[in-house]
């Protein structure tokens, strides 16, 4: 029976015999299965790495008198506040001025992603230009 014929398709872990997380140590995993992943591993949210947007945001915020506009959900820039300390330190080292980076978000919703968020992007560009004159 194909996946489309099933009322509920199999989870990725079942289909690929993979796992997302395991609560044991590596040696316990190796002893149980002699391989890195166990089928039916726990599937929970874990954030171990940063999104690559954040280093890019930090680099773009080093451009003097610039405004970075993220056309994304508001959560995409949530860690940028912590990265701003590096931007301030860099600005102080380069120009002797403690200046924050300026970043804005169009705060896309799920509906915007599906139906198009061009209107929000256009309005945000106009507002950023009017407010900050980069």
34 versus 62: the higher-pLDDT residue is 62
Q: pTM of the prediction?
A: 0.57
Q: What is the pLDDT of residues 99-127, one digit of tens each?
A: 888 889 999 998 898 888 999 999 999 99
User: What is 5-64 written as a DSSP string?
Assistant: GSSSPPPHHHHHT--SB-SS-HHHHHHHHSSS--TT-B------S--THHHHHHHHTTST
- Residue 22: pLDDT band (50, 70, 90) is low
- Residue 45: pLDDT band (50, 70, 90) is very low
Sequence spans of domains, the chain: 6-46, 53-132
């Amino acid at each position: 029976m194909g996946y489309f014929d099933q009322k509920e398709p199999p989870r990725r872990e079942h289909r690929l015999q993979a796992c997302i997380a395991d609560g044991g140590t590596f040696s316990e995993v190796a002893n149980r299965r002699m391989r890195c992943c166990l089928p039916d591993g726990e599937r929970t949210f874990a954030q171990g790495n940063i999104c690559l947007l954040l280093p890019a945001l930090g680099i773009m915020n080093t451009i003097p008198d610039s405004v970075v506009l993220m056309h994304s959900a508001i959560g995409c820039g949530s860690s940028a506040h912590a990265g701003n300390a590096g931007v301030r330190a860099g600005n102080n080292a380069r120009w002797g001025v403690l200046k924050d980076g300026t970043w804005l978000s169009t705060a896309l919703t799920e509906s915007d992603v599906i139906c198009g968020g061009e209107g929000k992007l256009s309005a945000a560009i106009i507002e950023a230009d009017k407010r900050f004159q980069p």
